[in-house]
């Protein structure tokens, strides 16, 4: 379902990650053509919460609620990460800061490879999870979750995407890392793509109902 053509409003995406914002705007635009999506750098600065919740859903809600409180705009936030079976589901919610501050995709990937050095290929299974939360100024909240299964390879491959994409091969696209996929191909199978496609029509309905 697409948002009504007459619907014109802003939705804040609580992120400063340029690549993530581009990905989210691209996918949301498929459903929310009349909605302007802005990022944290497009609004007045505010104190962002520490992502200290034990679940992806908890962190996504934390960020979305903070965005609404600070800006008065309907706010969408996500929390995502890589869960590796051989590491008991880690790095999980710690994915972005797995190797410690400051955040670094390169160091995170190096650490993950080191931790899995002696793990045989058949035990390098993993999945990406993305929880997307939407909070409206009137208090209504939506949370959905997407998942992408696959495995971790032994060397960095590809230049697209971000985070652990250079080490992850999705079960739906064997033979290539998600960093080697086209944007369209990755969007079609990714955890974030699945979650955003599910939540976008719900957001459109939410905004339409309040307009």
pLDDT digits (tens, 9 = 90+) for 151-208: 999 999 999 989 999 999 999 999 999 999 998 999 899 999 999 889 988 888 888 7
Chain length of the chain:
211
| Tokens encoding 101 | 């501050």
Domain annotation covers residue 84: yes
Catalytic positions, written as ranges: 79
Check the annotation: does 103 bind a ligand: no
- Quick check: is 149 in a domain? yes
Cα separation, 109 vs 112, in Å, equals: 5
Q: Count of domains in the chain?
A: 1
Answer yes or no: is 29 within a domain: yes
Q: Is 187 among the annotated ligand-binding positions? A: no
In a domain, 37, yes or no: yes
171 is in an annotated binding site: no
Q: Whole-prediction pTM value?
A: 0.89
Domain with 135, as residue range(s), is 9-210
Asked if the peptide bond before residue 91 counts as cis, ω within 30 degrees of 0, the response is: yes
Residue 4 belongs to a domain: no
Domain of 205, CATH number, reads: 3.90.950.10
CA-based radius of gyration for the chain? 17
Q: Is 2 annotated as a binding residue?
A: no
Q: Cβ neighbours of residue 158 under 8 Å, at least 6 residues apart?
A: 165, 166, 176, 177, 178, 179, 180, 181
Q: Is 163 annotated as a binding residue?
A: yes
Task: Examine residue 197 and state whether it is found in any structural domain, yes or no.
Answer: yes
Q: Is residue 48 part of a domain?
A: yes
Q: Using one digit for the tens of pLDDT, what is the confidence trace for 121-134?
A: 999 999 999 999 99
Whether the CA torsion 162, 168, 174, 176 is positive or negative: it is positive
Whether residue 130 lies inside any domain: the answer is yes
């Amino acid at each position: 379902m697409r948002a009504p053509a007459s619907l014109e409003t802003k939705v804040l995406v609580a992120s400063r990650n340029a690549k993530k914002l581009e990905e989210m705007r691209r996918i949301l635009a498929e459903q929310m053509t009349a909605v302007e999506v802005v990022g944290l750098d497009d609004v007045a600065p505010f104190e962002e919460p520490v992502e200290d919740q034990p679940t992806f859903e908890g962190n996504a809600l934390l960020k979305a609620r903070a965005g609404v409180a600070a800006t008065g705009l309907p706010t969408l936030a996500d929390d995502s990460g890589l869960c590796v079976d051989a590491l008991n589901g880690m790095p999980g919610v710690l994915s972005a800061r797995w190797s410690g501050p400051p955040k670094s995709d390169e160091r995170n990937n190096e650490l993950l490879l080191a931790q899995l050095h002696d793990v045989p290929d058949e035990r390098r299974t993993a999945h990406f999870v993305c929880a997307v939360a939407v909070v409206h100024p009137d208090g209504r909240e939506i949370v959905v979750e997407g998942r992408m299964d696959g495995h971790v390879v032994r060397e960095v491959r590809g230049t697209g995407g971000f985070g652990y994409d250079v080490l992850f091969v999705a079960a739906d696209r064997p033979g290539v890392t998600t960093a080697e996929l086209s944007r369209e191909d990755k969007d079609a199978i990714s955890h974030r793509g699945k979650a955003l496609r599910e939540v976008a029509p719900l957001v459109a309905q939410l905004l339409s109902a309040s307009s």
